[in-house]
Structure 1
Amino acid sequence: MSPNALIPSHRKPRRPSASSRALRAGVTGGFLTLAVTGATVPANAAEKPVSETQEMPTITTALATSAARSADTAEQVAFNYERQALQDSAFSQAAKAAEKHKSEAVKKAKAAAKKKAEEARKAEEAAQARASRSSERSTLSAPSSSTATGSTATLVSFLKAQLGKAYVLGSTGPSSYDCSGLTQAAFNQIGIDLPRVSQDQSTQGTQVGLDNLQVGDILYWGSAGSAYHVGVYVGGGNFIGAQNSSTGIVERPLDYDMPTGAVRVL
């Protein structure tokens, strides 16, 4: 038997080390609970593990609500900035488009005004050219007052010399005439060549009113271009013409057989 068999041991029981403890954490009932459980239990301890608890308040509902509101506010601010940026961009684009449209409208208006002014200028030049040509023709064709007076006198003198001669259809003188044959022969005396028939003679020269007659105007009966009879106004309200086979060449007042119209070739 060993001499040390009955000698009790004097070594003290070992305490559990810090490294043998386990840390457990949990949230229960709105509080943070820390539990430290020993791996071994002293001899004088109870059978169940010893728990050391310490309660700490968690983040309150007010703080959570405030944080949520702050996040919403930040998100709203960001959204407002983005919306404002989009609006500014849209306004800028609209302003540029409006400026472009305005510029195009101004260009079109200027082009239209320029075109209108050019058309007016051309029309004025054309009118001036026509007036100039008309004036030149009048200057070249119109006889002087003395010449006209002389031509009229010659014309009337010839017509009066034919009074009493016979009317013969288709005759052009010198012993007999029809109505258009007499007027053609009379104007040949002063160098004016008239067409042969009444219809054509009624469209010569310029149409004049019966209230504005001058000596030498050709009178016609019927309508211009289809007249059936002609004579010559000799002044004093009278005309001379080859009327018909019964009367021959006579001088009569206008109201004897009022003409339809008159033309002026002098």
Structure 2
Amino acid sequence: MLRGDQAYSGFRSWGLLLAFFAAMVLVSGCGGKQVPSSSPREHPDSGTRLSTLGYTIQFGAFAQPGNARRLTARLEGQGLEAYYFQQEGLYKVRFGDFPTRDAAERKARRLQNTGHIREYYVLRPRNTFPAGPRLGEQIVQTARGFLGIPYEWGGTRPEEGFDCSGLTMATYRLNGLKLPRTSRQQYRAGTPVGSEELQKGDLVFFAPGSRVSHVGVYAGNGRFIHAPSTGKNVRISSLGSRYYQNAFAGGRRYIRE
């Protein structure tokens, strides 16, 4: 009996240890590459206004994502931070943050002359996309285009996978807004919004422990789009689930009417 008790005790200790590490993964596995921060509940946010992107270059309208991935890889080989996304059923590629249209045009023409791209558009997302609730709807549609992409810690682009804050940053960037990189930085940058006041395009934050470590895009009707954790894909989840109800740290809004 003594040996049996000892075996049970050892098994129980290992079980508790594994449970502890599993909890740590949930707490820290989807917050991006972050720096230490104090508890979000101790320091209310003031709501920093996000800066907007300058002129960007967009090209391609591919039916298959593989074509967009290959073009993105070629541009990265030229030292450009390019990324592809899905819009209205087609895959497009975009890069740049140019201060003037002329600067963007010059870069695009050089890429044309070297055979890297063909047709292109120069656009400024702030003027291209609508404001207020319509922009919120556009943000949700952008996030939906990333459904099914695998989770990757530190990932900020679809070709490499997303972590939670990488997904929200990329989604906002495609809509012309420069969102900070990590979930805690994003939490501090927004204007606080209660759960009953959430609108499409707001971000929702979670703190399974003492600090914010997860974020998603609110999609309406109590649901949000997020990159959960290692081994899972970008998906839609419910704020009404017990886990997310208990971990909910608040919503944040960045869109100005």
TM-score range, shorter chain: 0.3 to 0.5
User: Structure 1 or 2: larger helix share?
Assistant: 1
Relative contact order higher in (CA < 8 Å, ≥ 6 apart) = 2
Q: Which has the larger radius of gyration?
A: 1
Q: TM-score normalised to the size of structure 2?
A: 0.45
**TM-score for the superposition, normalised by structure 1:** 0.43
